[in-house]
Amino acid sequence: MFVKEWLMPKWDKNSTAYSIVYALLLSVVFGGVLAVVASTLKPLQERNIRLEKMSYILRAARLQLSDPHSIEVAYRQYVTEYVFNGMGEELKGVKAFDIVLKKELTKPPQQQRLPVYLFHKQGEEPLVIIPVEGMGLWGPIWGYVALRSDLNTIYGAVFDHKSETPGLGAEINQQWFQERFVGKVFARGGSYCLRVVKPPVFQQDECTVDGLSGATATTLGVDEMLRRCRGIYDKVLKSVAHLLSQSKGSVTLVAGAKNTNGR
């Protein structure tokens, strides 16, 4: 091509110097192009991630929405965010949505920042949604559990994973699996009882959830995740229960609580 005609006679393309310069130039040019593409698309990508998180929280409250606009509108309308530390004390001025639960759990309880999402649709009972996170077979798993006002009965649950086996562990993000948690309870008679059990399940009660056939490790991962996170949120839920009983049916948990979801 034209490039060769004015470049070639001057420089032997198989010389070391040419190779080095060529490689450097190539890296700079392509690196530059990629940097431009990545930074241009970043806002869109981050929005997608935020939308996904919002849609999960809404889905835990059994509100299925797929288009971005309605997700944002519904979230703003129905969800109020709160942050508590591991001791159950409310923290103000902290943005719940951006908290990475996994990181918080490495801190001592006093320093943990644990998000709580209150979902309240006019005329319906408020739901308390907490995030959960754990380990599957191949990678992290996480989700959101919506509790009814007794803070024990599960209204809905959403799970997702990074790299579980397709068709097996990966099915935790499917509705048919998540529906199994509806109506189940965390505790009975004051002690934790919820178990996600490897099939076949002979005992059908409000504490037992059928796991995934052929996905034992992931099933156990979900079981452990729920157990551990429910334990971590224990003091938080006690505080939430206290505040809910105080406000008795009004929307906000605490007078003057800030809706920190970035309006």
Interface with another protein (CB under 8 A):
1, 3-4, 7-8, 13-15, 18-19, 22-23, 26-27, 30, 33-34, 37-38, 41, 44-45, 48-49, 51-52, 163, 166-167
Q: How far apart are CA 55 and CA 197, in angstroms?
A: 27
Cβ neighbors of 228 (< 8 A, separation 6 or more) are 134
> For residue 240, which phi and psi values (nearest 5 degrees)?
-60, -45
Name the residue nearer to another protein (CB basis): 48 or 77: 48
Q: From the CB of 167, what's the least distance to another protein, in Å?
A: 4
Q: In angstroms, give the least distance from the CB of 24 to another protein.
A: 11
Beta carbon nearer to another protein, 13 or 103: 13
Q: Alpha-carbon distance 87 to 112, whole Å?
A: 8
Question: Least separation, in Å, of the C-beta of 187 and another protein?
Answer: 34
Nearest to another protein of 14, 203 (CB atom): 14
Contacts of 21 (CB under 8 A, 6+ apart): none
Reported as type and span, the H/E element at residue 2 is helix 2-7
Q: Which is nearer to another protein, 84 or 159 (CB)?
A: 159
Considering beta carbons, is residue 174 or 250 the nearer one to another protein?
A: 174
For 140, phi then psi, to 5°, come to: -70, 150
Give me the least distance between CB of 63 and another protein, in Å please: 18
| Partners of 119 in the β-ladder | 79, 127
Taking the complex as a whole, how short is the minimal distance between the CB of residue 95 and another protein, in angstroms?
Answer: 22
**Side chain identity at residue 61, one-letter code:** A
